[in-house]
């Protein structure tokens, strides 16, 4: 009996996006991607930048997406209890301490301790410092919006990438009192697409979603954009070529049903046409 192994080479594509959500704070906004090959990526942070904006659209802070915020009151001590009056804070490094005197007083310090050990820190929703810093950011950003921009590397097959509000909150390992402090699970997914492109610029290119603005009076729901991308090769008079893509789009909004509270966000579903 003979066995054959087949390797499927799949081209990749680099969607470049710049989207503003006037009513969703940056901490509560995440981006996921998945395709028909079964590849899934959740809460993507690589090559992503967020701008916190106020109700007038003014920029409050620009940050690369990731962990990092001031610690909050009464964090968990290395010995297992909460910080007491006049006690010096020394947080646990969750097994990554290099000596008995090591302390990790922030989520980032826990990450660095794991990095020095050569370990991967994947369960930040179980790390006390990360949980408490996350909720402090949620409280600090109440009433704000977010401009998120960057790029993704996706397989050139049918799939989607989507912006999801509040997912990180619902999936966090937190106490009921912490959830109550956030006050609401309703999200206004009004948004403005400043730019969405699937390749390098070339003269005459038209990205049909650039500048599109949608206001949603109904909280929660799914706004879906169905995109068909076609490869395009532009050649100028000097013979220089640019390999890029153009796309067409249709869109649809669906209100979330009461029994489907997780059905919300802004989705970009992609199919790719091949030139013959």
Whether 77 and 22 map to the same domain: the answer is: no
How many Å apart are CA 250 and CA 73, to the nearest integer? 48
> Are 252 and 163 within one domain?
yes
- Average pLDDT along the chain: 80
What does residue 166 show for φ and ψ, rounded to 5 degrees?
Answer: 80, -5
pLDDT for residue 1: 40
- How many domains in the chain? 2
Q: Please check whether residue 182 lies inside any domain of the structure.
A: yes
- Cα–chain-centroid distance for residue 169? 13
pLDDT in tens, 190-247: 999 999 998 888 888 889 999 999 998 777 889 999 999 988 888 988 889 988 889 9
pLDDT at site 83: 64
Whether 166 and 243 map to the same domain: the answer is yes
Whether residue 161 sits in one domain with residue 40: yes
> 34 and 88: one domain?
no
Rg of the chain (C-alpha set): 22
pTM here?
A: 0.75
Please say whether the beta carbons of 95 and 102 come within 8 A. no
User: Is 168 found in the same domain as 196?
Assistant: yes
Full residue range of the structural domain in which residue 85 is found? 69-142
Looking at 101, 123, 142, the residue that finishes a domain is 142
3-state secondary structure the chain: CCCCCCCCCCCEECCEEEEEECCCCHHHEEEEEEECCCCEECCCCCCEEEEEECCCCCEEEEEECCCCCCCCCCCECCCCCECCCCCCCCCCCCCCCCCCCCCCCCHHHHHHHHHHHCCCCCCHHHCHHHHHHHHHHHHHCCCCEEEEEEECCEECCCEEEEEEECHHHHCCCCCHHHHHHHCCCCCCCCEEEEEEECCCCCCCCCCCCCCEEECCCCCCCEEEEEEEEEEEEEECCCCCEEEEEEEEEEEEEECCCCCCCCCCEEEEEEEECCCC
138 and 158 together in one domain: no
Residue where one domain finishes, among candidates 122, 142, 162: 142
Q: Please indicate, yes or no, whether residues 75 and 172 belong to a single structural domain of this protein.
A: no
- Measured at the alpha carbon of residue 26, what is the angle toward residues 151 and 115, in degrees to the nearest 5? 70
**Would you say residue 2 lies in a domain?**
no
Same domain, 158 and 115: no
Q: For position 262, what pLDDT does the model report?
A: 57
Q: Are residues 114 and 201 in the same domain?
A: no
* Domain annotation covers residue 262: yes
Q: Is residue 113 part of a domain?
A: yes
Question: Domain for residue 5, yes or no?
Answer: no
* Residues 234, 103 share a domain: no
In a domain, 264, yes or no: yes
**Integer Cα distance of 27 and 134 in angstroms:** 8
Of 95, 118, 142, which marks where a domain is finished?
Answer: 142
Q: Are residues 165 and 242 in the same domain?
A: yes
Is 135 inside any structural domain? yes
* Cβ atoms of residues 198 and 244 within 8 Å: yes
pLDDT, residue 6, reads 39
Asked whether residue 134 is assigned to any structural domain, the reply reads yes
Segments in the chain below pLDDT 70:
1-13, 65-85, 87, 167-185, 257-262, 275-276
């Amino acid at each position: 009996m003979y066995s054959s192994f087949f390797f499927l080479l799949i081209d990749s594509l680099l969607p470049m996006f710049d989207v503003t959500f006037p009513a969703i704070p940056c901490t509560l906004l995440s981006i996921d991607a998945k395709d028909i090959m079964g590849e899934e990526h959740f809460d993507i942070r690589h090559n992503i930048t967020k701008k916190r904006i106020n109700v007038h659209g003014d920029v409050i802070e620009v940050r690369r997406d990731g962990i990092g915020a001031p610690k909050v009151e009464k964090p968990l001590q290395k010995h297992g209890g909460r910080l007491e009056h006049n006690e010096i804070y020394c947080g646990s490094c969750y097994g990554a301490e290099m000596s008995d005197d090591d302390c990790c007083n922030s989520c980032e310090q826990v990450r660095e301790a794991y990095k020095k050990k050569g370990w991967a820190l994947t369960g930040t929703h179980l790390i006390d410092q990360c949980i408490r810093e996350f909720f402090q950011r949620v409280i600090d950003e109440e009433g704000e919006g977010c401009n998120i921009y960057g790029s993704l590397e996706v397989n050139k097959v049918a799939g989607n990438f989507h912006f999801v509000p509040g997912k990180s909150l619902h999936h966090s390992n937190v106490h009921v009192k912490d959830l109550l402090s956030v006050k609401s699970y309703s999200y206004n997914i009004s948004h403005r697409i400043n730019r969405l492109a699937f390749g390098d610029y070339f003269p005459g290119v038209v990205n049909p979603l650039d500048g599109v603005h949608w206001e949603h009076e109904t909280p929660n729901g799914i706004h879906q954009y169905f995109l068909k991308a076609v490869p395009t090769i532009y050649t100028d008079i000097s013979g220089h070529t640019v390999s890029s893509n153009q796309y067409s789009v249709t869109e649809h909004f669906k209100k979330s049903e009461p029994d489907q509270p997780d059905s919300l966000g802004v989705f970009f579903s992609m199919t790719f046409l091949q030139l013959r």
